[in-house]
Amino acid sequence: MNTKNIAKIGMMVAVAFVLSYIESMLPLNFGVPGIKAGFSNIVVIFSLFSFSPLTTFGIAIVRIILCGLTFGSLSGMLYSLAGGILSFLVMLLLKKTQKFSIYGISVAGGVSHNIGQILVAMAVLQNKMVLYYLPFLLIAGVVAGMIVGIIGAILVKRLKYIDTNM
């Protein structure tokens, strides 16, 4: 890996970190605790269509760890890691089928991220009652996934100059 590629990866992590910071500063209240807009996932969906799967996975994991350590807690990072890993795997599989648009892949990523978090909550709390929270999270995942997908598609289209050989 050359210096140029390392710089691009660093830039993606930095942009994701800044987007997470901006999101943490906005007084967004969706009426349901724990629901976030997921601005930093714009970087992940962009990376999925611009870089290799391994590079994208690395960007996603580093983003989650940095943001968890800076803006969250260790338990919050556990939830984000579970959601982020499941989301990445689902998006990667759907992308490989070549049957889904960037929008559909992004929505599936948003929904699967929330499912991953619910699964961890059920394991940590040892309580299936958390499943009653899932419909709210699924709706939030669809909405956030659409927004992330729209912005990600614009970026992928307009930033074609980035090398995809990473």
> What is the per-residue pLDDT for 33?
67
Residue 116's closest CA among 144, 137, 101? 137
Number of neighbouring beta carbons within 10 Å of residue 27:
4
Task: Between 27 and 157, name the one with better pLDDT.
Answer: 157
Closest CA to 146 of 106, 115, 109, 86: 106
Round to whole Å and give the CA distance between 152 and 145. 10
- Residue 162's pLDDT band, with cuts at 50, 70 and 90, is low
Range with lowest mean pLDDT among 28-32, 65-69, 105-109, 119-123: 28-32
37-63 pLDDT, tens digit each: 889 999 999 999 999 999 999 999 999
Write down the domain spans for the chain. 3-158
What's the rounded Cα separation, in Å, for the pair 62 and 43? 12
Largest CA distance in the chain: 49
CATH code reported for the domain at 3-158:
1.10.1760.20
Higher pLDDT, 86 or 68: 86
